[in-house]
Amino acid sequence: MSAHLVRRTAALLLAALATTLGAATSANAAENDRLALSWAPSDEVVATCADGSPIGLGFDLVRNRHLHTDTSGEVIRETRNVNYTGIFENLDTGERYTFQGTRVVTFDFVASTFTSRGNYRTVTMPGAGVVLHTVGIYVEDLDVEGLFYHQAGPRFDEWTPGAAGAVCSLFGLTAE
């Protein structure tokens, strides 16, 4: 077995054990809250089309947060259920394309992992079908950004190399 596979398997087993132990020692969710957040499409340009049109991406989301504590009151896990509307906007014309997404994010402070799973993007167009599509799960080290223990599911979103053409196509344009 490769060292990478051994490390990944050990990390997943430790995460599962920590979650099980955390559940055994935790009280019910100690705190729940709900928060609505918005980011304007003009905050993040994700593509520039051949005619020079900048395409921005914004979000309107609702996040439900659940804090789980151990018997001493220490937060051992935070879970966020996130439902959102993503907004691609041609910043020159104001034309918009919206999509829905869901995500469940878990910060496990015992196992030191960050888990994200959901249907992030399913963007379709009549006559073209699926244009952008990202679903699945990933488990990342909570302290070392980019250290992934597990990833699964297709990923083709606005950050994928070569995706500018797909983003511009939402507005009948081509990428530069």
Strand partners, 144: none
Residues 29-35: contacts with CB under 8 Å, at least 24 apart: 29/66, 29/67, 29/68, 30/67, 30/68, 30/69, 30/73, 30/75, 31/65, 31/66, 31/67, 32/64, 32/65, 32/66, 32/67, 33/64, 33/65, 34/62, 34/63, 34/64, 34/65, 35/62, 35/63, 35/65
What does the mean pLDDT of the chain come to? 85
Give me the sign of the Cα torsion angle 102, 152, 115, 157.
negative
pLDDT tens for each residue of 74-111? 999 999 999 999 999 999 999 999 999 999 999 999 99
- C-alpha separations of 62 from 41, 96, 110, 118, 135 in Å: 17, 20, 26, 15, 19
| The amino acid at 166 | A
C-alpha to C-alpha distance for 170 and 118, rounded to whole angstroms:
23
Q: Is 100 helix (H, G, I), strand (E, B) or coil?
A: strand
Each residue's pLDDT tens digit, 11-54: 444 444 444 444 444 444 458 999 999 999 999 999 999 999 99
Taking residues 62-67, report their average pLDDT: 96
Question: What pLDDT shows up at residue 128?
Answer: 81
CA distance 38 to 130: 26
pLDDT band at 4 (very low <50, low <70, confident <90, very high): very low
